[in-house]
Each structure stands twice: as structure tokens, then as C-alpha cells.
Structure 1
């Protein structure tokens, strides 16, 4: 049996394990370990398991994961997310579809704290959906805006998707964070345009919200200002070179905890719950990295990435034709896998092909994250759709999926613009890092 055939059998076994609900991390670890055992022997497989596991958990750069997760959890537990949403609503709620637009803005702001699409969808959904229901918003627009807005958590820094991509490809976390800013703002703007268009064509779906006085607007802005200042300090500190991403994550988490204590917005039990959630989420992400680090050497030995690159080159599609094939594969996988699983499973296979075709690895990181985000709102998996369903159990799943379709088109437009104009993603990191 050839090495490539063994590799294909290993990948098939990995997907089979996932189909039987084995966690993604252990599916990769089992396939990688036993694949290496078959090809290189037990001693080599055991050596990889030991060294790669230690290298993964001792990686200094991965400290950003628990720190930014803690930052988001404490912000949510302290109720700061409500302040972000209220401030956004005060400025755009009076317009047609304003509450849905405020939800998108709230998701974008909370994304800069949490780095998690699920956390964004849950946190803003709990605040915004009851208000939109009270004002008679269409169920599709209300739930679709939350599900789509939540995906911004995977793109706007600090993004766990970028951290995992950086670890898998050995690219700079700081450059990836900076690369996500303009695409994230572009997608947010297109989501708001989508809300407006839906409301124009169906006025009943997005009625205007109540008027808010200028005094109330500035009062709500002042209430949200401390958390916004933490966001600006953390992300801005990376941009101007004051902090590394790791230092920024630690400073941000510490400042949010101090802010919550100063406002007496955080009880001891809520803080313990935030710590527990942080440990649980971080442990899951670390296990994913360990599994990917065991799978990668197996794929390298099988030469599957090389065979894939040669196969695509043999088709004569050219760089962008090969990119289109890869993106279509992502779309198909997004119907069955969650976003994080897609990244860790596919990047080791497709990344060498991307480099061979001359694409910028930072730019492709943004493209890959956007395509992964699309999978978060497409059937049948659509993780964010299921999350919103949990927040709004009275809304049929079919209605939520119909509601996200206009936003999916906005994501496709964003992706097309970034492929056509790579500088949208590369301007800030190229300016910052030269």
C-alpha cells in the first residue's frame, strides 16, 4: 500500500470517527498516531505524540487563547455586552431595521472582546432578540442578523480562528489580527446594508425603533466607553507596537477584571463561572492544537499535500482556478463540520498548495476564515443557527436559515472583494510590519 493511499485511509478514518461523534481533537490525534505507527513504526509515532503535545501546550504564543477567552467571559458575566448593544442601538435604532443593525454593531464590538462567534451570537442574542420580538420584527431578519453578526467573532481580532491558523502555519498572530480589521469592518458594513435592504423590501420585517434623545445617546456612549477603551488599548497597542499579542491579551483581561470590580458588576460566583468556562474552552482549543500537531507529521509523510498540488497543477486551472477549487471544497465541508474543525483539518493539506501558487499566507488566512464563517450559517450544520435557535426556541429552524440567506450573500460579496483587492486584508499588516 502506497504512502498516499495510507494517508487517504487515515483521513477517511478521521472523518468516520467524527461521524461517530468522536471529538475533533481526538479524531485527528488517533488518525495521526496510528497512521504514523503504520508508516514509521511505534517508536516514531510515540515520539511525535510526546514532542508535539509538549510543544503545543508550552507554546508562548498560545497564551493569547485563555487570556482573550477570559476577557470575553468576564465582559459577558459583568453585563458589559448589554452596554455595547444599548450604545449601538441609541445611534442606529431609530432607522428602519435599526435594532437588527444595532445587533450587528453590538456583535462587532463584542467580537473585539471575545474572539468567539458562538459567544457573540449567544450574548447579543439574549439581549437583542427579546427587544426585536417586542417591537414586532420579522423572525427571519431578527434571528438572521444575530446568527450572521455572530460570525464576526471569528474575523475581527482577537480571533481564535486566526490564532489556530497562525499555530498551524507558523505565521504571525499579530499580522493576522491586523489583517482581520478592515475585512471585519467591511463585512459589518455589508451586513448593515443587508438589514436596510431587507427592511426596504419588507417594511414589516424591520420597523423603526423608538427615538432616543441626544442626552441619552451620549450617556449610553459614556457607559460603554471604558470597555471600548480596553478594546482600543489592547488592539491598538498591538498596532503601534507597544504590546505583543500575548501582552495585549493579558493587559486586556486584567483591565476588564479591574473594571468589573470597580463597577461592582461581578460577583464571586459569576467570576468563578467565567474562570471555569475559560479553562474548559481553552482546554478544548489546546487539545485541538495537539491533535493537529500529531496529524500534520502524518500528512507530511504521506505526501498528500504534494500530491494535491500536483493534481491541481495537472488540471491546468492556474492559481485562481486552484483557489476556487479549494474554496468550493471549504463550502462543501462547511455543510458538515464546524468552523474550527474545518481549519485544523484542511489547513495542513491546502496550505502548501496555497504557497506553491504564490498566494500571500496572511491574505489566505483571512480568506479561509471568511469561508469558514460562511459554514457557520449554512445548512445542515450552521453552528450559529443552532446557537440562535437555543436563544429563540419558538422560531422554526427553517425560518432562521431563510433569515441568514441575505447575509450569506453579503459574505460572498466580502469574499469576492478581498480576492479581487487583496490590499483590503494586507494594508494594515503591511503598513504596520513593513
Structure 2
């Protein structure tokens, strides 16, 4: 093995260790990237490469939508849309078996349409839905598992910051990626609903999960009206993308403007609320851009070391079987998901896996959705699932054993979803390619 490959392997291992030691992802990747490049190229080329990397990352056209998507989610929080979504879903389906749990999944999906963040969705729905399910007599493990699993939908449904980052790293069309989420999202909601409903129907606990009487038509109409702002924004984003009326960047601007207009016209957004949303957006985006700059520095170091080419060579024996390639990647993601958060997983693996996918003939739009779905699974996989830790932090009275027990049905649902996506890639690809 050459010195460059050895250095690349040591750098990758060092980055993983630093992340597991809870060093911030951006710091870990940036530090290893700069030091590794310094060893290979020397001082002057490293400084020049670092300067160009920073400039290219900040000025990249794809990433200009990130602040707008983050702002849209923060404005939605300040206008109270999350609470209204949950109440509306409860009104519509609370009279059915597992109605509150199903409403939590539906509201999480709705909030994910405008938040684009798994951790934000989990924290928000945890504050709203967990007390309601506890009062309705839901077992604590079922309630917590539902919130944790529902929160994972926040990184798949557009606007998804993770998809924007993948599009940037893999140089793929963000429009196609966002359109590709339609099938997997519907599949996820269906399987999660079954994960809630089937144990209640066939279980022996005697708990029905029915939380209220059937709502009147007037109450249902009011509930649908309360949900209409979220549905309108999502329809505008997806409809504009599919028809080609808006580019992905334009949909981000339009979505943020519509949510802002709704908050002002409905008088649900106060001036202090707007300032809080703007400050939170600035802090979040500053952290994201720092991480992306560091990831580019790290990726440049890996490319110089030749490590991605070595991995491609190791996979060469199975390149004629994309199925085996995907299974090997799945195993890697499953292990990483138990150890680190979704952003760290993607930033570490995309530079290594994308060249392998290209050589194996795996569609990179499909791979982007697959990667996000398996990252969703990692968010609820014990012991390190980040959504579980978010719930534990916001609800310290819950034990980790209750959280682990509660997510088991949803882990099984996610494994089934992964299998279906691998066996039937058209679930992902039918919409983006039909819109060309």
C-alpha cells in the first residue's frame, strides 16, 4: 500500500474516532482534511486548495436554497403550524384504533414538509404528542417509539436539508431528488401506520388506542382548513418542481415567502417570533456551511490519498452485481447508524460510495434516496439513534429501555421499506424521470 493510501486510511479512521468522541463533525473533518493535505502537498498548495474550497462551497448555486428552506421551517414553528397539524390530524382520525399515534405520524410528515429536519420534527412532536398519548393511556414505549419514528420523516420529505447536501456532494439534480421522495414517503407513512395499527388489532393488551368520539362534519371541515397552509405550501413546492414552473432554488424562495405571508396575514407571527426565526436560521446555516466546507476539505484529502479508488478496486469483483454492492453498503450504513448522526454518516460515506455506484451502474438519484432512507433507520436504531437521544433529553422521565422497545416495530417497517426500494427501484425513479 502506498504512503498516500495509508495516510488516507488513517485519516478516515481518525475522523471516525474524533466524531465518536463527540468532536463536532465540521471540526473533525476539517482538521483531518487540512492536516492530511498538508502532508501530501505541502504548505502553499494546501493554503491555495483551502481558499478555493471555502469560496466554492459558499458560492455553490445548489446550496443557496439551504437558508431559505431552514427559514421556512423556523417560520412554521413560530406560527404554531405544528400544534395545529397535530390537532387537525387528531380530529380527523382520533376515533380510530391508534388514532393519536397515527395522527402523530401524519403530523410529523406534515411538519417535515416545511421543517426539513428530523431532530426538529422529533423535538417538536415530542412536546405536543407525547403528553396527549400519555393522557389517552398509550403505553409509554408505544408513544415514544411513534414520535421517534415519525420524526425521521423530516429528512426525507421536501424541503430536506440532507437531500440538498447530497445533491451538492454527489453533483446531482436537487429537483430530481425531491421529486424522487414521493414514492418512498408514501410507503414510509403506510408502513409506519401499519406498525402502529397491527399490534393494536392483533395484540392481546386490550388497549384500543381510541382517544375520542368521531368528530362532526363541522369539526372535520375546520381541521382540514387548519391543515390547508401546510398542504398549500407542499403542493406549491412539488407542483412547481414537477411542472418545471420553478427551479429548486425558486421553490425555496417561494415556500419561505408563502409561510412568511401566512404568518403575517394570520397574525400568528409576531415581530419577536420573526427575529427568533431569523437568528435560528443564521446559526443553523452557519453551522451547516462550516460542516460542508470541512467536508469538501476532507473529500479533497481523500481524493489525493487515492482511498476512493482503492475501495472501487476492492468492489471490482462484484461490480457486475449492483445488488451485492448495495447490500455491502447497507451493512456499513447499519453499523454507522448505531454510532453517529445522519449528517456525519453521509459526509463520510458519499465521497467513497458515489464512485462505486457509478461503476456498478447504480442510479445516483436512487442511491441518494436510499442513503437518506437508511440514515432514517439509523436515527432510531439503538443504542446511538439520535432521535432517541432527543426524546430522552426533552423527556428525561422516559427510560432508554422504553425508547428502544418502542422503536422495534418501526425498525422492522424501515427494513421492509429498504427491501422494497431495492427490489422495486421504480418506487423512487418513476416520478423524477416522468417529469423530464
Normalised to the residue count of structure 2, the TM-score between the two structures is 0.96
Please give the residue correspondences for 1:291-302 in structure 2 after superposition, counting only pairs within 5 Å. 291-302=294-305
Matched-pair contact (CA < 8 Å) for 1:141–1:205: no
1:305 aligns with 308
* Aligned-partner Cα distance in 2 for 1:330–1:218: 44
* 1:386-405 to 2 correspondences below 5 Å: 386-405=389-408
- Of residues 163-172 and 33-42 in structure 1, the stretch that sits farther from structure 2 once superposed is 33-42
Residue 393 of structure 1, CA deviation: 2.3
In 1, the alpha carbon distance for the partners of 2:300 and 2:92 equals 52
Q: Distance in 2 between matches of 1:173 and 1:97?
A: 36
Secondary structure at the aligned position of 2:435 is classed as: helix
Distance 1:384 1:206 in 2: 26
Partner of 1:8: 9
Work out whether residues 19 and 340 of structure 2, in 8 Å CA contact, stay in contact via their aligned partners in 1. Answer: no
1:103–1:204 distance in 2 versus 1, CA, 3 Å: farther
2:77 aligned residue = 76
Deviations 1:123-163 (Å, cap 9, x if unpaired)? 22211111111111111111111100110111111111111
Contact 1:52/1:294, CA 8 A, preserved across alignment:
yes
Question: Which segments of 5 or more consecutive residues in structure 2 lack a partner in the other structure?
Answer: none
Query: Within 2, Cα distance between the matches of 1:20 and 1:411?
Result: 28
After superposition, give the CA deviation of every residue in 1:158-177 in whole Å (9 maximum; x if it has no partner). Answer: 11111111000100111111
Post-superposition Cα deviations, 1:405-429, rounded to whole Å, max 9, x if no partner, equal: 1101101111110100000000000
CA contact (8 A) 1:138 1:206 kept: no
Q: Following superposition of structure 1 onto structure 2, how do residues 44-55 of structure 1 map, counting pairs within 5 Å? A: 44-55=45-56
Of the three residues 208, 211, 215, the one matched with 1:209 is 211
Could you tell me how far 1:301 is from its partner in structure 2? 1.4
| Mapped partners of 1:245, 1:112: distance in 2 | 15
| Partner residue, 1:41 | 42
Q: Which runs of 5+ in 1 are unaligned?
A: none
Which stretch of structure 1 is more off in the superposition, 306-315 or 131-140? 306-315
d(CA) in 1 for partners of 2:397 and 2:322? 46
Secondary structure of the residue aligned to 1:26 is helix
- 8 A contact 2:20–2:340 mirrored in 1: no
Inter-partner Cα distance in structure 2 for 1:334 and 1:292: 19
Deviates more, 1:224-233 or 1:180-189: 224-233
Shift of 1:269: 1.7
1:202 CA displacement: 4.7
Deviation at 1:16, TM superposition (A): 2.7
Q: Does 1:319 align with 2:322?
A: yes
Moved more, 272-281 or 199-208: 199-208
Partner Cα separation in structure 1 for residue 281 and residue 33 of structure 2: 28
Query: Does the 8 Å contact 1:138/1:204 carry over to 2?
Result: no
Question: CA–CA distance in 1 between the matches of 2:347 and 2:412?
Answer: 25
Q: Residues 173-188 of structure 1 correspond to what in structure 2 (within 5 A)?
A: 173-188=174-189
Question: Which residue is 2:29 aligned to?
Answer: 28
Q: Equivalent of 1:228, from 227, 231, 235? A: 231
Q: CA RMSD in A?
A: 1.4
Instruction: Identify the residue that residue 265 of structure 1 maps to in structure 2.
Output: 268
Work out the CA distance in 2 between the residues paired with 1:239 and 1:117: 24
2:339 is matched with which residue: 329, 336, 340? 336
Q: Secondary structure at the match of 1:95?
A: coil
Distance 1:7 1:48 in 2: 17
1:205 positional shift = 5.1
Q: Cα deviation per residue 1:221-280 (whole Å; 9 max; x = unaligned)?
A: 112212321221122211111111111111111111111111111222222111111111
1:249-264 pair list within 5 angstroms: 249-264=252-267
Matched, 1:286 2:289: yes
Cα distance, 1:302 vs. partner? 1.4
Mapped contact 2:163–2:368 kept (Cα < 8 A): yes
Contact 1:78 1:266 in 2 (8 A): yes
Residues 204 and 276 (structure 1), Cα distance of their counterparts in 2 relative to 1, 3 Å cut: farther
SS at match of 1:394: coil
For 2:319 and 2:258, how far apart are their aligned partners in 1? 53
Give the TM-score normalised by structure 1. Answer: 0.97
Alpha-carbon distance in structure 2 between the residues aligned to 1:373 and 1:227: 22
Give the Cα separation in 2 of the matches to 1:203 and 1:42: 67
Which residue number in structure 2 is paired with residue 137 of structure 1? Answer: 138
Question: d(CA) in 1 for partners of 2:319 and 2:433?
Answer: 31
